[in-house]
């Protein structure tokens, strides 16, 4: 099944919170998640820079940190949402405001914007989406070994049934890999690249994966 971009929030079996982001794409598969100065950006792979002339939405920061929180998303909404959380705005409000202000992408598919957020220790996570017909943000109680997800297509409503009950990761790189081919995510087609932040020590560690 093709779901497009995917964000997830979960908790490993040993109780470490994580956010994950996966690019799945049929139109622009030549991209990679790159760590740059404590964040992760989605960029064209070498030799495919001209793809930016075809679609301005294909490059953005997909993973940022805001104090004790990690924020992952599929577009430029990552930055304002992280900024509002860092300023002290409640997570739900920052997500809703950021998604509403940025709105869905004005491309040929009216691509929704999606976002996931987790705290480094508190057992709570968030998923949100802005579609052409709705803005939805949901809070989840995180429990060990479970991950919740939302995607731009098909599974595009935050709800408890969109969940992987066998989630686990040894480190951030393993979490990023899980978003590509672990558990329920293995059923979703056209993976391109992924990124994850996993609680570690006093903050988060970052991991990325490239498919192919």
Provide φ and ψ at 177, rounded to 5°: -65, -40
Looking at domain 6-210, its CATH superfamily turns out to be Inosine monophosphate cyclohydrolase-like (3.60.20.20)
pLDDT for 51 equals 87
pLDDT for 12 equals 98
For residue range 39-84, list pLDDT tens digits in order: 999 999 998 888 888 888 889 999 999 999 999 999 999 999 999 9
Average pLDDT over residues 121-127: 97
Mean pLDDT for the chain? 96
With tokens 């969940």, the residue in question is 163
Pairing outcome for strands 134-141 and 124-131:
antiparallel
Provide φ and ψ at 185, rounded to 5°: -65, -20
Q: Which alpha helices (H) appear in the chain, and where do they start and end?
A: 51-54, 78-86, 91-102, 172-181
H or E stretch including 118? strand 113-119
Is pLDDT above 90 for 105? yes
Which residue(s) pair with 69 in the sheet? 66, 119
What are the counts of helices (DSSP H) followed by strands (DSSP E) for the chain? 4, 13
Give the whole-angstrom CA distance, residue 84 versus residue 53.
30
pLDDT for 199 equals 97
For residue range 142-199, list pLDDT tens digits in order: 999 999 999 999 999 999 999 999 999 999 999 999 999 999 999 999 999 999 999 9
Identify the three-state secondary structure at position 210: strand
**Of residues 134 and 109, more confidently modeled:** 134
Band (94; pLDDT cuts 50, 70, 90):
very high
pLDDT for 209 equals 97
- What ranges do the domains of the chain cover? 6-210
Structure tokens at 38: 């404590």
């Amino acid at each position: 099944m093709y779901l497009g971009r995917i964000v997830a929030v979960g908790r490993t079996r040993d109780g470490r919170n994580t956010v994950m982001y996966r690019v799945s794409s049929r139109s622009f598969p030549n991209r990679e998640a790159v760590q740059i100065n404590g964040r992760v950006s989605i960029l064209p792979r070498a030799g495919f820079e001209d793809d930016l002339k075809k679609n301005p939405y294909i490059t953005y920061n997909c993973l940022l940190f805001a104090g004790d929180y990690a924020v992952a998303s599929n577009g430029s909404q990552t930055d304002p949402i992280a900024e509002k959380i860092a300023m002290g705005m409640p997570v739900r409000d920052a997500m809703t405001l950021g998604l509403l202000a940025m709105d869905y992408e004005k491309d040929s598919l009216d691509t929704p914007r999606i976002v996931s957020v987790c705290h480094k220790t508190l057992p709570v996570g968030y998923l949100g989406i802005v579609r052409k017909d709705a803005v939805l943000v949901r809070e989840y109680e995180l429990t060990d070994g479970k991950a919740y997800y939302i995607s731009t297509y098909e599974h595009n409503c935050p709800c408890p049934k969109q969940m992987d009950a066998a989630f686990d990761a040894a480190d951030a790189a393993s979490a990023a890999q899980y978003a590509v081919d672990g558990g329920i995510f293995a059923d979703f087609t056209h993976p391109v690249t992924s990124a994850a932040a996993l609680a570690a020590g006093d903050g988060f560690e970052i991991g990325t994966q490239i498919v192919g």
